Amino acid sequence: MSDQEITLLLQAANRGEEEARERLVHRVYGELRRLAGSIMRSERSGHTLQPTALVHEAYLRLLVGEVNWQNRSHFFGAAAQAMRRILVEHARRKRALKRGAEYEHAELDDQQACARGDQLDILILDEALTALSGVDPRLTQVVELRYFAGLEVEETAEVLAVSPATVKRDWSYAKAWLCDHISSRAAKYNALRHSPRQ
Question: How does pLDDT run across 27-71, given as a tens digit for each residue?
Answer: 888 878 877 777 776 665 555 677 788 888 887 887 766 667 777
Domains along the sequence of the chain with CATH: 1-101 (1.10.1740), 103-198 (1.10.10)
pLDDT of residue 59: 79
d(CA 107, CA 110): 9
Q: What is the pLDDT of residue 103?
A: 45
Q: Which of 162, 161, 145, 4 is nearest to 72 (CA)?
A: 4
84-99 b/e (C-beta count within 10 Å ≥ 16 → b): bebbbebbeeebeeee
How far apart, in Å, are the Cα atoms of 172 and each of 107, 166, 178, 185, 191? 23, 10, 10, 20, 29
Model pTM score: 0.69
Q: Which residue has the higher pLDDT, 64 or 94?
A: 94
Q: With bands split at pLDDT 50, 70 and 90, how would you rate the model's confidence at 96?
A: confident
Residue 193 banded pLDDT, cuts 50, 70, 90? low
- pLDDT of 103-130, one tens digit each? 444 333 334 445 444 455 778 888 899 9
